[in-house]
Structure formats: structure tokens, C-alpha cells
A and B are shown apart, each in its own frame.
Chain A
Amino acid sequence: MDYIDPHIHMVSRTTDDYATLARMGCVAVSEPAFWAGFDRGTADGFRDYFRQLTEVEAARAAQYGIQHYCWLCINAKEAENVELSREVIAMIPEFLDHPGVLGIGEIGLNKNTRNESIVFLEHMELAIKYEQPILIHTPHLEDKYQGTRMILDMLNGDSRIDRSRVLVDHVEEHTIAAVLEDGYWAGMTLYPISKCTPQRAADMIEMFGPERLLANSAGDWGPSKPTAIPDLIFELRRRGHSEDLIRKVVYDNPREFFAKSKNFQFQQRV
């Protein structure tokens, strides 16, 4: 089955991974800007990273017939440095008309601090000003519930936000209901230890239905599995779910959400 991985950090993966994804049926990926494993020191460091996302990765993916899209921001972890964050936010518009840039992301919170919240709100302003969709990272482990509620407070508190153009990612059992009930898209991240397994993701699909629900691998440089979406497909098939339901979650829904961006020029496989 053709599928789309709506959240994967291919700059951290090998070319062999692109080949494997292609063999497994992956036809497109979207790559949010994230933390590189160390704090970058300058806005120019981010400019180089955005060039990598918009130029290098797109070309690398194309060699395997995979369409590559991306999202730009300074991530929540580095957002603790407000001065640097403002320099990066001021530079992002240079890239927004680049083919393949879908919007602002993955913005969010990490430790739910005041500085992270300030930078989140300034990213929101950027997205509103340039009419960009938003992809949001929610925190890990014990910080997730509090951080997700804080993020929803900030989004819900601004009437200019079009909720149909916002994806709140890394939802789990204790955060998915609030995200969907408030009208946002929700992403489930399939991780070996933290976040959720393919089995628990399948449970959430059964409990909440497939509307506005996406699944991703969030494959990166840490413990993660870039082929996690085929694992979810396999789990749903084992339970006897229809191909239509599976396709909606792993293919139709990402296409519908990404189409909120004018830069999403998807080429369907014929």
C-alpha cells in the first residue's frame, strides 16, 4: 500500500533508509525542522539547515521516487534562547515560497517554560502573518499532558488561528481527545519506547475513528524506526480493518492536511 510519512527527520537517516522506505510503499515524507542533538549557535547555522531541508533532502529523496516536503522553525529545545529564536524567525520568510515548504513546524514546548511559550507565540504570529499551516511538537513523557494543554490554551486563545490548518503531533491516550475535540488534526508517533506503539495507535484509531488522525515514525538520530508506519498497517490488517480505513490514515489524511499549503504539489503514483 502507498503511504506517506508525515513526520520523519531524514537528515538523520542514511540513503539506505530512503531505499527501504521506497520498497515499503512510502511515496512522500514531510520533515519538520528539529533539534540536531546539540544547540546551534547562530541564525546562519539555521539558514544552512533550512537549505539542507529544502534543497539537499528533496534531491536525495527524489532519487528513490519519494516526494520530500518540509516545515521550518526553531525547535522548542533551542527556543529557550529567545534572542536566537527571534533571529531565526525573522529569517524564515526567505524560504516560505520554496517548493516543498508546507508551513511552520515543528514548533511547540519541551519543558513547558516561559521562554518556550514566548517563542511558540511568536511562531504563531509568523504563521498567521504568512498564512502558513502549523505542525506542533508536544513534549515527552511526564511533560506531555501539561505541555499539550498549554499549547491548546495558546492556540484556542487566538481567534485568527484556523484549526483545520494545525496538526498537533505526538498525541497519546491522555492528550488525543482534547486535540481532536478542539478541532485540530492529531498525529500519533510510533516509537519503540516513548510515545506509542503500533498496537496502541491502532487502539486510538478504534477509539476515536480515523478523522483528522495521522500516524508517523518521527524517525531521527535517536531510538526510532523509520518503517514504523508499515508496522501500523500490518497491525490494522491483523485486526481485520478494511484497506479503506488503513489508507485513510496513512495516505488520504496526510494528503488532505498537506493540501492546506499551496506548496503541496503532490504527484500521485500512476
Chain B
Amino acid sequence: MPSPADATQLLDRHFLEVRARLLEVAATLDRLDRAEGEVTRDARREQIATAISILADAKPGRAERLQRLFSRDYKASWRADMQV
């Protein structure tokens, strides 16, 4: 089921909020750069970098792919592994 609103209407409505959220991400990354210490090898920093690359690609399902990126893995054998 598509949204009844067309793409231009949706962009009109969401452009400023997306701009604001992107600026928040940019400013947070700048803040990390300015701070003492080093997080470039922190897994969470790497997740953020991967997430940004997902946002930039043209494939659909970005929200679902971001969710999976930030998720623990599932093993189908969990019941046998846990003896449940």
C-alpha cells in the first residue's frame, strides 16, 4: 500500500527534519573527534560508519538493514545449544 502523499509532498514535509537529524549526527561525530581519547576501533563507532554507508546507498529497505546492523545474531540451533 503506497502512501497517498506523493514523493514531492513527502520531501517537502520531511526535508527540514532530515536536515536537522543529519546535522546532529555530523556534530556528534565532530564532537567525538575533538574529544580526548580514541574510539575509531570501538565496534559501536564502526557500526555508525556502516550505518551511514547504508543510508547513502540506493537500495531499498534501509530501515530494516539498519535494524539488522544493530542486532545480535540469531542462531537457528539455539534450542539445542541451550538445551531448552
Contacts and interface: CB of A to CB of B under 8 A. Distances in A.
Interface residues of B, number: 22
Interface of A is mostly: helix
A209 B83 contact: no
A173 B5 contact: no
Nearest to A177: B64
A117 to B, nearest CB: 5
A217 B80 CA distance: 36
A143 interface: yes
Interface string B63-84: 1100110111110101100111
Nearest to B1: A206
B4 interface: yes
A145 B79 contact: no
Contacts of A24: none
Contacts of A146: 71-74
Contacts, number: 60
B84 A121 contact: yes
B71 A145 contact: yes
Contacts of A207: 1
Interface of A: 112, 114, 117-118, 121, 141-146, 149-150, 153, 157, 172-174, 200, 202-203, 205-207, 209, 238-241
Given A145-B71, A173-B61, A241-B4, 16 more contacts: A118-B84, A141-B70, A142-B70, A142-B72, A145-B68, A146-B71, A146-B72, A146-B73, A146-B74, A172-B67, A173-B64, A174-B67, A202-B3, A206-B2, A239-B3, A239-B5
23 contacts: A112-B72, A114-B82, A114-B83, A117-B79, A118-B84, A141-B70, A143-B72, A144-B67, A145-B72, A145-B74, A146-B73, A157-B79, A173-B63, A173-B64, A173-B67, A174-B67, A205-B1, A206-B2, A238-B13, A239-B3, A239-B4, A239-B5, A240-B4
